[in-house]
């Protein structure tokens, strides 16, 4: 029987995802041992590829991997054509809107200018979220250290992920509201979902069982 090709993201969600897959009986010894290598094959023929979190949906959408594990935040932002089949419940973080402590300057800008500037790594999610509420903020796309933008006057606020809130506090930013909550999701290529239905269903069942055991 054909085995699955699984895309894993190196980064914050790697450890809980890897631990869960191991509880399902998959062998990740080598994946854990060698963080430079990109392709791994286990004894039963299962192939793992490791990549950046934001690239996981791309590999899966194109069918270069059958299955992938990635945060809901990335899926929301990219809107890829893949099956989202399972919420692993791990890798929990929140996508929030934050502005510098004290008076919320974005409200001030909105009142006077009808808009405000928001810096983010998630331009699509941010645009859609505010537009649904009748606001069209000016979106400033950044690739890292989003917290810097409001401190140097590049934007009034930011949209970013936070799990503990420490980074926000260190930069004297205050969470104004939560937009979304994100957890790790299992995604499946739309053709693999049909042609490898048995293998996919079996992995989902094993993951569900392992998650139920942990509760």
Which residues form the interface with another protein (CB under 8 A)? 60-64, 81-87, 185, 189-195, 197-198, 201
Sequential DSSP letters for the chain? -PPPEEEEE-STTHHHHHHHHHHTT---HHHHH-SS--EEE-TTS-EEEEE-GGGHHHHHHHTSSSEEEEEHHHHHHH--S-EEEEE---S-EEEEEEEESSS-HHHHHHHHHS--EEEES-HHHHHHHHHTTT--PEEEE-SS-TTHHHHTTS-SEEEEEESSSHHHHHTTEEEEEEEEEE-EEEEE-TTHHHHTHHHHHHHHHHHHHHHHHH-
Q: How far is the CB of 64 from another protein (least distance, A)?
A: 7
d(CA 21, CA 33): 16
Q: How far is the CB of 128 from another protein (least distance, A)?
A: 14
Q: How far is the CB of 16 from another protein (least distance, A)?
A: 17
Considering beta carbons, is residue 75 or 173 the nearer one to another protein?
Answer: 75
Q: How far is the CB of 55 from another protein (least distance, A)?
A: 13
Contacts of 168 (CB under 8 A, 6+ apart): 96, 98, 147, 162, 174, 175
Considering beta carbons, is residue 26 or 67 the nearer one to another protein?
Answer: 67
Considering beta carbons, is residue 33 or 215 the nearer one to another protein?
Answer: 215
Q: How far is the CB of 73 from another protein (least distance, A)?
A: 14
Considering beta carbons, is residue 27 or 84 the nearer one to another protein?
Answer: 84
Q: How far is the CB of 84 from another protein (least distance, A)?
A: 5
Considering beta carbons, is residue 155 or 200 the nearer one to another protein?
Answer: 200
Considering beta carbons, is residue 172 or 194 the nearer one to another protein?
Answer: 194
């Amino acid at each position: 029987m054909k085995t699955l090709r699984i895309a894993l993201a190196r980064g914050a969600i790697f450890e809980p995802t890897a631990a869960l897959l191991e509880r399902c009986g998959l062998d990740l010894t080598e994946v854990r041992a060698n963080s430079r290598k990109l392709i791994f094959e286990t004894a039963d023929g299962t192939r793992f590829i490791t990549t950046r979190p934001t690239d996981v949906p791309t590999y899966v959408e194109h069918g270069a991997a059958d299955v992938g594990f990635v945060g809901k935040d990335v899926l929301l932002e990219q809107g890829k054509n893949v099956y989202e089949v399972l919420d692993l419940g791990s890798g929990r973080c929140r996508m929030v809107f934050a502005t510098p402590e004290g008076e919320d300057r974005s409200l001030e800008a909105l009142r006077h200018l009808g808009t405000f500037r928001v810096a983010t790594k998630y331009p699509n999610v941010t645009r859609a979220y505010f537009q649904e509420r009748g606001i069209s903020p000016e979106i400033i796309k950044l690739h890292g250290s989003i917290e810097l933008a409001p401190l140097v006057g590049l934007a009034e606020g930011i949209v970013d992920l936070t799990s503990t809130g420490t980074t926000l506090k260190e930069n004297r930013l205050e969470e104004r509201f939560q937009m979304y909550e994100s957890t790790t999701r299992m995604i499946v290529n739309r053709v693999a979902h049909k042609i490898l239905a048995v293998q996919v269903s079996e992995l989902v069942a094993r993951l569900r069982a392992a998650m139920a055991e942990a509760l």
